[in-house]
């Protein structure tokens, strides 16, 4: 009898030591045959590194609770640093909408305009069962060898309903990033041609 109890306790102890599996997430959606949604933009495009709030700049997914507290989900992690995830997701969406590749860090054609994008994410809220929200200040800069450089700084706050699971919140963030890309791409196209165009 004693041996049976010892064996049972040993089994339970081993089960308790088994850790929950770690899940990894990305803000870059699956391609699913994604194609450019408009004509090729009349400029070269480059995207600068993205700034992310320090509160959520963690390897783990950070969610906001109704109490206002933040919870770090140890087994729910980003596949890359969150700033890189946001950068790559936004760049991917902008390439689709501008019909041109991100030439960040690559040589440019000297006599063709270059539009650069700087992105400062002020809020990146994940609330399971409620919403995903981003509050972003973004700045476009246009340069070409024959004209003075000019810039335009705008801000966007976007919110998308989200389900109760972490993957639901991640998908909601993918959607708000796509919405942000649509706003930025539309603005960049008109502003690059007409300096008088302001923020949306």
In CATH, what number is assigned to the domain containing residue 39?
Answer: 3.40.50.10610
Residue 18 CB partners (closer than 8 Å, separation 6+): none
Q: Domain for residue 198, yes or no?
A: no
CA angle 104, 146, 98 (to 5 degrees): 40
Residue 11, in any domain of the structure = no
In a domain, 166, yes or no: yes
Residues of the chain with pLDDT under 70: 1-18, 33-36
pTM of the model: 0.88
Rg of the chain on CA atoms, in Å: 22
- Domain span at residue 51 reads 25-193
Contacts of 22 (CB under 8 A, 6+ apart): 75, 76, 77
Which pLDDT score, from 0 to 100, does residue 36 have? 67
Domains identified in the chain, total number: 1
| pLDDT tens, position by position, 117-133 | 999 999 999 999 999 99
């Amino acid at each position: 009898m004693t041996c049976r109890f010892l064996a049972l306790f040993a089994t339970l102890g081993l089960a308790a030591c088994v850790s929950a599996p770690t899940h990894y997430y990305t803000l870059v959606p699956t391609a699913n045959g994604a194609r450019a949604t408009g004509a090729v933009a009349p400029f070269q495009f480059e995207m600068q590194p993205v700034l992310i709030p320090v509160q959520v700049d963690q390897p783990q997914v950070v969610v906001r609770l109704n109490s206002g507290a933040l919870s770090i989900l140890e087994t729910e992690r980003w596949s890359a640093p969150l700033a890189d995830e946001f950068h790559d997701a936004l760049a991917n969406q902008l390439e689709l909408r501008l019909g041109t590749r991100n030439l960040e860090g690559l040589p440019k054609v000297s006599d063709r305009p270059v539009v650069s994008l700087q992105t400062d994410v002020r809020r990146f809220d994940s609330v399971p069962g409620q919403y995903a929200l981003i509050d972003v200040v973004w700045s476009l800069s246009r340069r070409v060898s024959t004209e003075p450089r000019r810039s335009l700084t705008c801000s966007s706050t976007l919110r998308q309903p989200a389900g109760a699971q972490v993957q639901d919140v991640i998908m909601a963030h993918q959607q708000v990033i796509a919405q942000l890309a649509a706003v930025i791409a539309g603005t960049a196209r008109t502003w690059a041609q007409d300096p008088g165009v302001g923020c949306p």
